[in-house]
Structure 1
């Protein structure tokens, strides 16, 4: 595994792209960046692979009393994934689930408008979706993003991240909805994603918008 710290998100993107080229990028790939930090990483991946870039806007549906625990996720074009086991375990009623979904749908729509500016998402039907983020801590966001990519018609889903916590990476790799996980660094003592970057400054909405416009 790669142990040298990453210079910045562009550096991670170039390194990830090389790893994807070595393993094969799949059939008709589309690179999907998770906003905000995953988009500059994904932009470099898309450039090296010669693949189209898009943003994958998702919202986790968290348990009402424990919002950090995902009971599902929603995405564009009505994509919706619900984990019935977590819903039952959390004792969530249909009314409570609907309330959480309404709230998260409003935030999802706001982010879509902000990042897309009226541009339709790329069609994933029958294609390889390469879902990219700048790192994985718990894996919750990556898991729901991959589920939404699959629900949007992707034939194959690859998660590509520069660094991740060992437990989270192992769980993601074992997920039936993810065909492959490409992770360059799995540190034995993981504290935070930013710990493995020299420059981990926050990515702004404006930067995401500029990157997406340039790639369109």
Structure 2
């Protein structure tokens, strides 16, 4: 089964998340989407659940000379999270990736400034936080996001995605209290294989979702 769009995937994921939250207090839930691709999905989840939406910027660390290959990720000013198996396979060390880490941090700060527009990030302490992306392959960006949010002291931390391999879902349970994945194919070449329509998401689309669904979205 494929999704027609990220919006359709978000609507289907929202139904599952309503079941997940049936015994809980929705007033305490925050959806934290990973921009940019996770925002249309997270927006639908937040809209259906009638809870706030915010974003957490996470940036992939690329293999030098191979920008299509991610070997780690950074969130905020946290230490980088690396795919240790990938490092060994490529015979790379963390020190050799210091320039890539620095570039990723610059982009994290740039996008955070664009999306938050001077307001602080949501305080997750004591909240049930649902982290949403449009799909996961290795899960390295989700792991960086979960570890960053865990430091904020959430009551519960849940990862929710439309598609994710079972091995990745199992591994991410080390960092999340719950992992919800609508589809768990044994092999996943790339996330876009699961979508009929998978366009690039613009900064303007991210800002529009935040204006609608973030409590402070009406601020200039």
Whether TM-score is above 0.5 comes out as yes
User: How far does the alpha carbon of each residue in 1:104-154 deviate from its partner, in whole angstroms, 9 at most, with x for none?
Assistant: 332211111122222221110111110000001111111111111112222
CA distance in structure 1 between the partners assigned to 2:97 and 2:189 by the alignment = 32
CA distance in structure 2 between the partners assigned to 1:202 and 1:84 by the alignment = 25
CA distance in structure 2 between the partners assigned to 1:12 and 1:50 by the alignment = 17
1:13 aligns with 2:14: no
Match of 1:22 in 2: 19
CA distance in structure 1 between the partners assigned to 2:82 and 2:163 by the alignment = 30
Does the 8 Å CA contact 1:135/1:162 hold for their aligned counterparts? yes
Query: Residues 63 and 74 of structure 1: is their aligned pair in 2 closer, same or farther, counting only changes over 3 Å?
Result: farther
- Once the two structures are TM-superposed, the CA of residue 101 in structure 1 deviates from its matched residue by 5.1
Match of 2:49 in 1: 49
Does the 8 Å CA contact 2:80/2:144 hold for their aligned counterparts? no
Number of equivalent positions:
204
- Once the two structures are TM-superposed, the CA of residue 60 in structure 1 deviates from its matched residue by 4.6
1:157 aligns with 2:157: yes
- Once the two structures are TM-superposed, the CA of residue 73 in structure 1 deviates from its matched residue by 2.9
1:192 to 190, 193, 209: 190
- Once the two structures are TM-superposed, the CA of residue 170 in structure 1 deviates from its matched residue by 2.3
CA distance in structure 2 between the partners assigned to 1:19 and 1:92 by the alignment = 38
User: How far does the alpha carbon of each residue in 1:73-122 deviate from its partner, in whole angstroms, 9 at most, with x for none?
Assistant: 332xx4x1456995xx86545xx787665443322111111222222211
Match of 2:34 in 1: 34
Match of 1:69 in 2: 71
Describe the SS at the equivalent of 2:172. Answer: helix
RMSD (Å) for aligned C-alpha atoms: 2.8
Does the 8 Å CA contact 1:12/1:41 hold for their aligned counterparts? yes
Q: Which moved more, 1:118-127 or 1:184-193?
A: 184-193
CA distance in structure 1 between the partners assigned to 2:61 and 2:190 by the alignment = 23
Give ranges in structure 1 of 5+ residues lacking alignment. none
Describe the SS at the equivalent of 1:21. Answer: helix
- Once the two structures are TM-superposed, the CA of residue 68 in structure 1 deviates from its matched residue by 3.0
User: How far does the alpha carbon of each residue in 1:38-64 deviate from its partner, in whole angstroms, 9 at most, with x for none?
Assistant: 001001100111110001112356788
Query: Residues 83 and 145 of structure 1: is their aligned pair in 2 closer, same or farther, counting only changes over 3 Å?
Result: closer
Give ranges in structure 2 of 5+ residues lacking alignment. none
Task: Tell me the TM-score normalized by structure 1.
Answer: 0.81
